[in-house]
Amino acid sequence: MRVMWKRLPHWAKSFYFLSGLGFLFWMLFFDAEDFFTQYQLRNKLGCLAEEKRHYLEQIEELQQDKKELASHEDLLEKFAREKYFMKKKTEDLYVIVDE
């Protein structure tokens, strides 16, 4: 072990180099905000941003549908029949499910 210590260059034996190396090692592997945790959080942030974009698009579509339904009575009836299976009192409703 002493032979290896003597072979090291002078700058590698300095207190500041060893302290910096220890600090770097600590920050990469043991700290609560280590490199691997930051990598995982960055990936999760990207996924959440994608989900946000998707949900904002859906909200925009729904607001457009809402505006159209409020302006046309025929579309409102069609929407109620298709989405919620509503019917008039004199009608029979048959739902066919594709398997």
Asked if residue 63 and residue 25 are part of one domain, the reply reads no
Which residues constitute the domain of residue 9? 1-31
Give the pLDDT mean for 15-27.
Answer: 89
- Residues with Cβ < 8 Å from 35, sequence gap 6 or more? 27, 28, 29
Asked if residue 83 and residue 58 are part of one domain, the reply reads yes
Q: For residue range 66-81, what is the model confidence (pLDDT) as tens digits?
A: 888 888 888 887 787 7
Asked if residue 54 and residue 25 are part of one domain, the reply reads no
Alpha carbon distance 63, 12 (integer Å) = 65
pLDDT at 60: 97
Task: Indicate the number of domains in the chain.
Answer: 2
DSSP 31: S
**pLDDT confidence bin for 54, thresholds 50/70/90:** very high
Question: pTM value?
Answer: 0.54
Asked if residue 14 and residue 52 are part of one domain, the reply reads no
Asked if residue 52 and residue 17 are part of one domain, the reply reads no
